[in-house]
């Protein structure tokens, strides 16, 4: 369900006209069960009053019903309750920002901006020109419906508001933005980190054109069936502790997958989450170390989840390797998965030195006790048996000649015996 809130000065003319019209348009196209439209005021001048009679007559003249409305005022909680908050003029937008405490998720906008023309919808309460107001509002509502159509036609739309609602109070301090398309959420968020974006900034994308995993491997990112998100953290962390954050993210992802799927997840060292032996999530952690402090200036944690099967299936090279969290799309599943992951990741990251993630990680690790092949960055490879994970989440292996080595995830990759991917 996508939720849209229209806002004007008193909530008796423009905003209820927009809400009624958008509902009518959605109903005509069979989308009314996936779209909720409401309205509110930035002032308390008309609280409890019905739609202004000339506005009602204009709507009815165009075949748009508007029964049962009573004016109400916008509240800060509306910012969480609705996915899009759309004002009628610049004055509305300023007051919307004030009431909502800013716009961290970039969800406040003006109706005419959706049309590409920009400008305000003139208030007919002052001008008396309700037909012109209706034409502008109709153009705006049609543009809103067209822009939202890809989300509305999905079984499981993903929005910043949906993630916030799924997280509840745990979303405090996050800035969540849901993009239609990105080259790579990690790349975009690294650029924003360099520009000063704060800790807790989150980007999601419906699809990625340059999605990637470790060692620059391509990450398949089709629209509508995956969850692709990146989180900006600004921990006081030395470079040698970066693998801990990757492992914490993998533990958070595995627990999130279990919460949504109801099945036991496994972790392949260091950053792959598996269900029934198939990869359903990968983690990519990147950052920049400050020359002044020798610690990370920021870290971007990216996670890509295969939530449900893509139309037409996975590409041939992934068909035997990739799995999905769910067998089919389910309304709200991606928002819940994002919420479960973000909640757990933030908890682990806040207490990274305590290694609270380590036991959940070890409990799900499938590598210790298995025969593996160690692939080094110089191209060499060597057979070994994986023994255990140490306190820094490094892998201890025993080679066939009896020697042992503790491996860092940044230096090697593994292939488990019987598995077909590295």
Query: How is 64-132 classified by DSSP, letter by letter?
Result: ---TT----B--TTHHHH-SEEEESSHHHHHHHHHHHT--TT--EEEGGGGGTS------HHHH--HHH
| Residue carrying the six token digits 């000649």 | 401
Q: What backbone torsions phi and psi does residue 296 show, to the nearest 5 degrees? A: -65, 130
Q: Report yes or no: 221 and 242 within 8 Å, Cβ to Cβ.
A: no
Cα–Cα distance measured from residue 159 to residue 86, given in angstroms and rounded to the nearest whole number: 15
Mean per-residue pLDDT for 103-124?
94
DSSP state of 361: H
Cα–Cα distance measured from residue 57 to residue 373, given in angstroms and rounded to the nearest whole number: 75
Paired tokens of 335: 């928002």
Determine the 3-state secondary structure of 319 from DSSP: coil
In terms of Cα–Cα distance, which of 204, 206, 209 is closest to 183?
209
SS3 letters for 373-405?
EEEECCCCEEEEEEEEECCCCCEEEEECCCCEE
Paired tokens of 392: 């820094």
Contacts of 203 (CB under 8 A, 6+ apart): 177, 179, 182, 185, 188, 189, 192, 229, 230
pLDDT band at 211 (very low <50, low <70, confident <90, very high): low
Give pLDDT tens digits for 72-101.
999 999 998 999 999 999 999 999 999 999
Give pLDDT tens digits for 308-348.
988 878 878 777 888 999 998 888 899 999 999 999 999 99
Cα–Cα distance measured from residue 353 to residue 11, given in angstroms and rounded to the nearest whole number: 51
Paired tokens of 310: 């893509």
Mean per-residue pLDDT for 218-243?
85
Q: What is the CA radius of gyration of the chain?
A: 25
In terms of Cα–Cα distance, which of 281, 225, 235, 282 is closest to 258?
281
Question: What's the pLDDT score for residue 420?
Answer: 47
Positions marked catalytic: 8, 14, 123
Query: Count of residues for the chain?
Result: 422
Q: Is the pLDDT of residue 216 over 80?
A: no
For the packed helices 333-350 and 160-167, what is the interaxial angle rounded to 10 degrees? Answer: 60
Q: Is the pLDDT of residue 419 over 70?
A: no
Mean per-residue pLDDT for 281-309?
92
In terms of Cα–Cα distance, which of 280, 249, 275, 260 is closest to 186?
249
Give pLDDT tens digits for 21-58.
999 999 998 888 889 999 999 999 999 999 999 999 99
Q: Report yes or no: 121 and 145 within 8 Å, Cβ to Cβ.
A: no
**What are the residue ranges of helices labelled H in 128-241?**
130-152, 160-167, 185-194
Mean per-residue pLDDT for 194-220?
79
Q: Is the pLDDT of residue 158 over 90?
A: no
Instruction: Determine if residue 301 is left, alpha or beta; phi over 0 gives left, psi from -120 to 50 gives alpha, anything else beta.
Output: beta
Give pLDDT tens digits for 116-130.
999 999 999 999 999
Question: Measured on CA atoms in the order 36, 37, 38, 43, is the torsion positive or negative?
Answer: positive
Question: What's the pLDDT score for residue 241?
Answer: 87
Question: What's the pLDDT score for residue 182?
Answer: 85
Question: What's the pLDDT score for residue 219?
Answer: 65
Cα–Cα distance measured from residue 38 to residue 147, given in angstroms and rounded to the nearest whole number: 18
Question: What's the pLDDT score for residue 64?
Answer: 93
Mean per-residue pLDDT for 104-113?
93
Q: Is the pLDDT of residue 248 over 90?
A: yes
DSSP state of 49: -
* Residue-averaged pLDDT of the chain: 90
Task: State the CB neighbour count (10 A cutoff) for residue 399.
Answer: 13
Contacts of 133 (CB under 8 A, 6+ apart): 13, 14, 17, 55, 58, 121, 122, 123, 124, 127
Determine the 3-state secondary structure of 54 from DSSP: helix
Question: What's the pLDDT score for residue 30?
Answer: 85
Q: Is the pLDDT of residue 134 over 90?
A: yes
Q: Is the pLDDT of residue 378 over 90?
A: no
Cα–Cα distance measured from residue 68 to residue 263, given in angstroms and rounded to the nearest whole number: 45
Question: What's the pLDDT score for residue 379?
Answer: 80
Question: What's the pLDDT score for residue 421?
Answer: 46
């Amino acid at each position: 369900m996508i939720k849209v809130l229209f806002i004007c000065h008193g909530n008796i003319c423009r905003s209820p006209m927009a809400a009624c019209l958008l509902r009518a348009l959605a109903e005509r196209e069979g989308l009314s069960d996936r779209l909720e439209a409401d309205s509110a005021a930035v002032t308390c001048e008309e609280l409890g009053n019905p739609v202004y009679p000339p506005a009602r007559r204009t709507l009815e003249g165009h075949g748009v019903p508007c029964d049962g409305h009573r004016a109400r005022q916008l509240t800060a909680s509306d910012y969480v309750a609705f996915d899009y908050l759309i004002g009628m003029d610049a004055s509305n937008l300023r007051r919307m920002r004030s009431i909502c405490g800013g716009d961290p998720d970039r969800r406040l906008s003006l109706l005419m901006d959706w049309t590409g023309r920009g400008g305000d919808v003139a208030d007919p309460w002052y001008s008396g020109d309700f037909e012109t107001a209706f034409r502008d509002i109709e153009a705006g509502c049609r543009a809103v419906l067209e822009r939202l159509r890809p989300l509305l036609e999905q079984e499981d739309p993903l929005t910043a508001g949906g993630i916030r609602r799924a997280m509840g109070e745990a979303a405090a301090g996050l800035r969540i933005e849901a993009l239609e398309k990105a080259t790579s959420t990690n790349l975009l968020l690294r650029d924003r980190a360099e520009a000063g974006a704060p800790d807790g900034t989150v980007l999601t994308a419906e699809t990625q054109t340059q999605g990637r995993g470790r060692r620059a491997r391509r990450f398949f990112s089709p629209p509508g069936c995956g969850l692709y998100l990146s989180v900006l953290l600004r921990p006081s962390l030395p470079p040698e502790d970066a693998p801990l954050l990757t492992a914490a993210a993998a533990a958070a992802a595995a627990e999130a997958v279990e919460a949504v799927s109801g099945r036991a997840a496994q972790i392949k060292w260091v950053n792959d989450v598996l269900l029934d032996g198939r990869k359903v999530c990968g983690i990519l952690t990147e950052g920049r170390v400050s020359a002044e402090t020798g610690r990370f200036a920021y870290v971007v944690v990216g996670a890509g989840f295969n939530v449900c099967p893509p139309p037409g299936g996975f590409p041939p090279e992934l068909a035997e390797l990739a799995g999905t969290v769910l067998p089919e799309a389910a309304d709200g599943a991606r928002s819940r998965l994002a919420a479960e992951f973000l909640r757990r990741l933030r908890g682990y990251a806040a207490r990274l030195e305590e290694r609270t993630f380590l036991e959940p990680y070890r409990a799900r690790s499938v590598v210790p006790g298995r025969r593996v092949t160690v692939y080094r960055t110089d191209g060499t490879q060597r057979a070994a048996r994986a023994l255990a994970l140490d306190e820094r989440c490094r892998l201890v292996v025993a080679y066939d000649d009896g020697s042992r080595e503790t491996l860092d995830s940044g230096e090697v990759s593994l292939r488990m015996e019987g598995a077909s991917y590295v």
